Structure 1
């Protein structure tokens, strides 16, 4: 999880620096990361305070994370089954050619 947090910091660092130069202001990157099962980093409470996130909003964010995770898993499984079906059909065709 901390690896993802560091990736987010690096990913947005260049953009933040550029925006800071354009608007002549300081930019602070806050990598708010949460897993589908609610696992968070050690700095999560600090980030919540910095962002002023209320408990009901945090619950809503976690519900979105759960929903998107389920959608992603479902899509991957469907794609996997489609691939298996295509492989089965190809095996059937190749067995006809061999016979």
Structure 2
């Protein structure tokens, strides 16, 4: 969860079943992510990582993928870069 002055935002969760659950359903509370095209952009960035296969019609739900997908440093770094991008989108809402 990301806490900002204007609210709290869920982007993803890591569960004990070794899955990362994306919170597309919840990120719609951010004005920029209300636009389905922005959620699709987020999803497309993620599916560029080898091993992440999420259908585009999942941008309104909470799809998941195995944590092991990020086992190599390059894929983990890419995931962190994508989450950093999402955080910047959230921050734009309060500026």
- TM-score in terms of structure 1 length: 0.32
Higher relative strand content: 2
Higher normalized contact order (CA 8 Å, seq sep 6+, divided by chain length):
2
TM-score (norm 2): 0.33
